[in-house]
Amino acid sequence: MRRIFSGISRVPDRKQNLPQLYRFCFLMLGDPRKAQEVFHTTLHEAALRAAQGELPKEPFWLFRDARWRCLEASKTDLQPEAIELDEHDLTPEAASQIEHLQPTQLAIWISNAPDPQRSALALFYLGEFDYREILDLAELKLSALSRYLSQGRRQLQAWLDAKHPEPRQV
Amino acid sequence: MKKLALLRRRRALLNCAPISRDQLFDRSMRSAVSRAAGSIEFVNQQNFDRALAELVRLIPIPPETAEWFSEKDLGVGSKWTWKKMVRNPAVLAISIAVVVIAGVSVFDVLGRLNDFSGSATARKLLTVAASTRAVVLDPVNTEAGTLSDLFFMKHGLEHYDVPAEFADFQTIGCRVFDDEESRRVAQIWLAENRMQLFLFPAERDPKTGAVLRFPGWRYVHQEGWVGAVTEHSGVCFMAALRGQEKDLEPYISKPTGK
């Protein structure tokens, strides 16, 4: 089994990085147990397809597959109330505010975003894909991806300001 | 209108600018990033994105999930290094084998550098010299140079001539015998320094039958014995004694082929 997956991860496209695939699931679901479940199901399914010689040829198919499973898995969850989040301009202190965050807090924040913003943020902050690949994976247009990312940053900054207020330099 | 659309697209690209500069594959993205590189807004965005990406990298991988990855996949930061490669048992084994093969080859080549046609026979005769006792030879007390006539008349051996360098030495005994390949070998024991002389047929080309000649004197060594060999008229002559080349050198007028 293990060999099959090491094989999968070395298919010609460079982005089938399995640790990053798990992190993607975690960012999408905000829960390590669920992330593991989706990750394992995705790879198990892929192993079966590999055994039958039916591996998809399109790039990043593992991520595409995992994304749909994550969306499916979170369908039954309690959905966050549709409220308008505060937005703040990004500040130079943001990096030090982020240092106070735990990865799980970030994952919960991203997983609570409505899709496709959730997918856009999760794929973008993996740092694995360029924007055209994200457009393809999240099935978005450039203007939409730009809007989701920009809005996500501003909302996250507002959340950081509320959670870890930094003394502003005058 | 067109300019406005262009500005909007540039703005959109900047919002999607990659976290690492290594991912600036797209020309329009590169252009947008280079135009905005100095702006505070863009610098803040890049710092923000980098800090978040760093945080994402800290997401721990549960052990049961990590089992699905091969070691290579897990090692995101584990790069290929010479040290690792050298420690690989397969590489180590191959390297040792290559070194041993190279050593043996070099030794063989060096050994062959001193080889000449007849060297194998000469070495065998050095072994004969080491094991011969004086009693097995016919006692003959004369000058070595005169034995050529004896070999010719008694045994029909043509050109079994002792070279001038050794012709004047007094002999103790001599004999003629067949070696393993039924070649006629003449052996002479000298009083001088317990030296032994051998005369034996030179090697020939198996196809043409021509004598395989070599110029001057050549040295061979075997079990503490040294022999100086020369060829003349299809017959090899070897002077042999227990010792080293320097013990034979004074007897040879012009040593060559070393």
Domain boundaries, chain A: 2-75, 94-163
Mean pLDDT of all residues in A134-155:
92
From the list B18, B59, B66, which residue is nearest A107 (CB)? Answer: B59
pLDDT at B239: 95
Helix A117-126 vs helix A142-163: crossing angle, to nearest 10: 80
Q: Is the ipTM of this complex over 0.90?
A: no
Q: Is residue A92 pLDDT above 80, yes or no?
A: yes
Q: Identify the CA nearest to B140 among candidates B132, B131, B148.
A: B148
| Domain at A94-163: CATH architecture | Orthogonal Bundle (1.10)
pLDDT at B1: 58
Averaged pLDDT, groups of 10, chain B, 258 residues long? 81 89 82 85 90 91 77 45 76 89 87 79 91 87 92 91 92 92 92 91 88 88 91 93 90 58
Mean pLDDT of all residues in A96-125:
91
String of b and e for A62-85 (b: at least 16 CB within 10 Å)? bbbbbbebbbebbeeeeeeeeeee
Local confidence band at A170 (pLDDT 50, 70, 90 cut-offs): very low
Longest dimension (CA), chain A: 65
B114–chain A Cβ distance below 8 A for any pair: no
Burial of B139 (0-12, 13-18, 19+ CB in 10 A): exposed
Local confidence band at A1 (pLDDT 50, 70, 90 cut-offs): very low
B16–chain A Cβ distance below 8 A for any pair: yes
Mean pLDDT of all residues in A158-165:
85
Local confidence band at A75 (pLDDT 50, 70, 90 cut-offs): confident
How does the average pLDDT of chain A come out, rounded? 83
Q: Identify the CA nearest to A60 among candidates A142, A132, A143.
A: A132
| DSSP-assigned letter for residue B144 | G
B164–chain A Cβ distance below 8 A for any pair: no
User: Can you read off the two tokens belonging to residue A29?
Assistant: 């679901």
Local confidence band at A144 (pLDDT 50, 70, 90 cut-offs): very high
Which residues from chain A sit within 8 angstroms of residue B10, using beta carbons?
none
From the list A32, A146, A147, which residue is nearest B62 (CB)? Answer: A32
Q: Is residue A12 pLDDT above 70, yes or no?
A: no
Q: Is residue A15 pLDDT above 80, yes or no?
A: no
pLDDT at B76: 40
Between residues A57 and B55, the one the model is more confident about: B55
